[in-house]
């Protein structure tokens, strides 16, 4: 992943690939899970998709982003963004790809001087610019947020931010681990919807449909499901091996996103 001068905030260069929607194919559109996300879109301000590596989080988020009929900003988090200013620089940069003036009026000037005691003010400024900016519906995808769960500022930032998001903005977060406790409690307030790993497991019908896309039989799908317990990446790998398709060093078939 190269550092590109594709987008910058002030003098800060951002890695363009981190704020771009992934250009990868999803192996299979799963109506059951898309319906859960659509319901969350209309009833909550944010959704968490949680599961271990290979359970289909990114594939689901990407499939929904392509079908939700909204503008989409995408930010893939890495561990160095555990620093508040760096996190915001990337988050703002991702939204500016859809709303070019986002963050310029209030948020960026505040970010340059904010300290740990002004986190709630940053959250309010972020929401203010979402409200006062363009009105088209927006889906904000934050991928792999678990990499910065240890950051002391994260829960104090997201708690007010998620509660205040306008109705035309939804935040979709993927994570390998459970949310910090202060955010977990927001589920009871209809602010946050949660799709756990057990929901990500393929059902028998979904496995059959996936294997049919590889021109494989129901019997193949049933055997694979029994051996993988519905794990998305393992099912896709199983199908690729049966059809002699190349399996790269990641252990995933080239055509899939999991």
Q: Tens of pLDDT along 67-89?
A: 999 999 999 999 999 999 999 99
Give Cβ neighbours of residue 148 (< 8 Å, ≥ 6 apart).
77, 79, 81, 82, 87, 154
Task: Tell me what pLDDT residue 232 has.
Answer: 94
**Euclidean distance between CA atoms 159 and 122, whole angstroms:** 12
Backbone angles phi, psi at 257, to 5 degrees: -125, 120
- Read off the pLDDT of residues 166-186 as tens digits, 9 standing for 90 and up: 999 999 999 999 877 777 777
Give Cβ neighbours of residue 113 (< 8 Å, ≥ 6 apart).
none
* DSSP state string for 6-50: T-EETTEE--GGGGS------S---HHHHHHHHHHHHH-SEEEEE
**Helix, strand or coil for residue 90?**
helix
Task: Tell me what pLDDT residue 2 has.
Answer: 41
pTM, entire model: 0.87
Task: Tell me what pLDDT residue 28 has.
Answer: 80
Under a CB-based contact definition with an 8 Å cutoff, are residues 66 and 41 in contact?
no
Task: Tell me what pLDDT residue 92 has.
Answer: 96
Q: Which of 66, 61, 36 is nearest to 51 (CA)?
A: 61
Low-confidence ranges of the chain (pLDDT < 70): 1-12, 26-27, 187-189, 245-258
**Euclidean distance between CA atoms 148 and 170, whole angstroms:** 20
Task: Tell me what pLDDT residue 55 has.
Answer: 95
Task: Tell me what pLDDT residue 186 has.
Answer: 72
Q: Please report which helix (H) or strand (E) contains residue 248, including its range.
A: none
Task: Tell me what pLDDT residue 253 has.
Answer: 40
CATH of domain 8-200: 3.40.50.300
Q: Which of 117, 112, 116, 106 is nearest to 86 (CA)?
A: 112
Task: Tell me what pLDDT residue 254 has.
Answer: 41
């Amino acid at each position: 992943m190269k550092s590109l001068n594709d987008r910058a905030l002030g003098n800060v260069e951002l890695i363009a690939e981190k704020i771009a929607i992934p250009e990868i194919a999803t192996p299979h559109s799963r109506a059951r899970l898309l319906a859960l996300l659509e319901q969350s879109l209309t009833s909550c301000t944010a959704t968490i998709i949680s599961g271990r590596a290979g359970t289909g989080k990114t594939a689901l988020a990407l499939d929904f982003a392509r079908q939700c009929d909204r503008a989409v900003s995408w930010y893939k988090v890495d561990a160095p963004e555990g620093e508040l200013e760096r996190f915001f620089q990337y988050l703002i940069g991702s939204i500016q790809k859809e709303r070019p003036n986002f963050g310029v009026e209030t948020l960026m000037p505040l970010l340059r001087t904010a300290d740990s005691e002004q986190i709630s003010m940053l959250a309010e400024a972020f929401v203010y610019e979402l409200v006062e900016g363009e009105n088209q519906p927006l889906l904000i995808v934050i991928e792999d947020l678990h990499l910065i769960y240890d950051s002391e500022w994260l829960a104090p930032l997201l708690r007010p931010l998620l509660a205040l998001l306008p109705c035309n903005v939804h935040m979709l977060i993927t994570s390998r681990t459970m949310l910090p406790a202060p955010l977990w409690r927001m589920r009871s307030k209809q602010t946050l919807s949660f799709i756990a790993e057990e929901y990500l497991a393929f059902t028998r019908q979904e496995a059959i449909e996936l294997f049919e896309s590889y021109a494989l039989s129901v019997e193949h799908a049933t055997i694979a499901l029994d051996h993988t317990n519905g794990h998305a990446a393992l099912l896709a790998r199983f199908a690729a091996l049966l059809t002699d398709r190349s399996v790269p060093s990641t252990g995933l078939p080239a055509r899939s996103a999991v």
